[in-house]
């Protein structure tokens, strides 16, 4: 009886120990990147390329969903898919851009353009004056969004110009003689 109990206890201890060991060891893929020199590990350029590839795959999938639709519904779906792709690419560029303000402005402008393209397609369902009014409203909203993006970007640039550059010193500035 004592031998049986010791055997069971040993088996349980062994099972718990291997589970704990499996949770703490690195997978071979992680060890490989840790062993490589810093220059060979994934760089921001490779990460951006991978992200761009993911965006393109998503866009293909979105456009494939549109194939089942007919007439103007298909046009609306395609405009949404293309707009989503353009916005995602602009956001990706903004993520890696040096001039963040300009990149953010471009993202907002792309969103406005994408919204406009979808609205244009939706307006195609209407006829006559209703269609004209719809198109005019879409243009007004696009122009307003682009203007807002431009004003925001200009304000951010002005704020950046007004802030003094960091000098690295902690001493207060000397008063100037008049």
What is the Cα–Cα distance from 108 to 145, expressed in whole angstroms?
Answer: 7
| pLDDT of 33 higher than 60 | no
Mean pLDDT, residues 132-143 taken together: 88
- pLDDT tens profile 143-169: 888 888 777 877 777 776 666 555 555
Mean pLDDT, residues 63-80 taken together: 88
Q: Do 106 and 90 meet the contact criterion of CB atoms below 8 Å apart?
A: yes
What is the Cα–Cα distance from 4 to 72, expressed in whole angstroms?
Answer: 76
- pLDDT tens profile 102-112: 888 888 888 88
Mean pLDDT, residues 34-59 taken together: 71
Cβ contacts of 160 within 8 Å, gap of 6 or more: 101
What is the Cα–Cα distance from 91 to 136, expressed in whole angstroms?
Answer: 28
What is the Cα–Cα distance from 14 to 141, expressed in whole angstroms?
Answer: 68
Higher pLDDT: 127 or 167? It is: 127
Q: Does the predicted model carry a pTM greater than 0.85?
A: no
The mean pLDDT value of the chain amounts to: 76
């Amino acid at each position: 009886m004592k031998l049986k109990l010791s055997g069971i206890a040993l088996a349980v201890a062994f099972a718990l120990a291997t589970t704990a060991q499996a949770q703490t060891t690195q997978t071979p893929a992680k060890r490989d990147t840790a062993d490589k020199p810093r220059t060979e590990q994934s760089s921001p350029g490779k990460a951006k390329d991978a992200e761009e590839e993911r965006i393109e795959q998503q866009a293909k999938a979105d456009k494939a969903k549109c194939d089942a639709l007919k007439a103007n519904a298909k046009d609306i779906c395609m405009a949404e898919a293309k707009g989503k792709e353009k916005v995602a690419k602009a956001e990706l560029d903004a993520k890696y851009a040096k001039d963040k303000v300009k990149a953010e402005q471009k993202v907002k402008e792309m969103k406005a353009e994408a919204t406009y393209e979808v609205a244009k397609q939706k307006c195609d369902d209407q006829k006559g004056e209703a269609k004209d009014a719809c198109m005019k409203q879409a243009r007004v909203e696009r122009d307003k969004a682009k203007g807002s993006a431009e004003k925001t970007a200009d304000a951010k640039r002005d704020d950046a110009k007004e802030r003094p550059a960091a000098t690295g010193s902690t001493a207060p500035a000397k008063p100037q003689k008049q």
